[in-house]
Structure 1
């Protein structure tokens, strides 16, 4: 049986506005999607929140626009002008969460899911201060004393990617931003990322998927954090 893995937004009235809307809501839609438990359904792998300026306009739109293969469709009203005019990314995150909660609870009722799960996710996102951080990959050093991670921080307008090194106690020794992905749909980023390789107990590399760019961290942990030796290199092949 399929699992609900993804939540997306669609604004069928205006293609240009939809492109911006999809991009700027992806941060919170992605975070909400990751916090969902394993909901099994007979046919759906995602939820499509179709947004319209007014329910009155539905008769003027092609009903086929609201059908997405393998996705449970739900319709809600939105003031697109208000959303696009919000002055900060934080306000857009807050607006997105409020906007999606009601239709998601509607889907929960229709599919006989526990609505309290969705209410809990809503509160958890607020507790996280709307920050969408996730680990793409991690790997321990040969001597098992360190771990390296590729950490992604998904925002309204971009996704930042960091190379992060921790010691055995879980303390972050250092982190380096290695790229900024302008497409907020994480799939664009995932299509670019390669893998972590430790070449020494104190040297680790990460490459893009085609091995055209290699990111290298060399470090030596000293007796005090301020004496940490840290060197970052980027090689274009």
Structure 2
């Protein structure tokens, strides 16, 4: 087997799954970050939650020199893709909570805020719909707003 064979396997087998997973996660991840708002911390700029088949307990939370924090959570990606869209949202929130909790414990953050965010998402039945912005026409006669619906497999924008 040559390097080209490995490259083809990566591009044809693994990359499409990763891209699809990344796109599906955005539904709940964007809702989570919206509800979180601006979270001030001196210890990190950004948290990246890596979903892996098996975590290494010795490397739970790592902060890089540029201030980004990486944490790993376990996920069986093949089982994930067999779930209904609703169950996928539930699993995504569970993985976000798992990663954020690890970082919160490492940095001694109060996890109550993160618990409230999860509660809000569950209370909204994992539905991510919102009005983006209301705009007024230059002559002030008309008003319109952008209504967004973000789900696992679609993102719809409507002007009302």
Q: Which runs of 5+ in 2 are unaligned?
A: 1-13
Structure with greater strand percent = 1
Q: Which residue of 2 aligns with 1:74?
A: 71
Instruction: Report 1:175-194 matches (<5 A).
Output: none
Give CA deviations for 1:30-83 in whole Å, capped at 9, x if unaligned.
100111142223363321101110126x99xxxxxx969553211111111111
Pair 1:70–1:18, CA change in 2 (3 A): farther
- Partner secondary structure for residue 39 of structure 2: coil
Shift of 1:155: 1.0
**Compared with structure 1, are the counterparts of its residues 133 and 45 closer, same or farther at alpha carbon in structure 2 (3 Å cutoff)?**
farther
User: What TM-score does the superposition give when structure 2 sets the normalisation length?
Assistant: 0.76
- Any unmatched runs of 5+ in structure 1? 1-13, 60-65, 165-237
Q: Which is helix-richer, 1 or 2?
A: 2
Provide Cα deviations, 1:171-204, integer angstroms capped at 9, x if missing partner. Answer: xxxxxxxxxxxxxxxxxxxxxxxxxxxxxxxxxx
TM-score, length-normalised on structure 1? Answer: 0.53
Kindly report the root-mean-square deviation, in angstroms, between the aligned alpha carbons of the 2 structures.
Answer: 2.5
1:105 deviates by 1.1
Query: By how many angstroms is 1:21 displaced?
Result: 1.1
1:111 to 107, 112, 135: 107
Q: 2:95 aligns with which of 95, 99, 102?
A: 99
Aligned residues, how many? 141
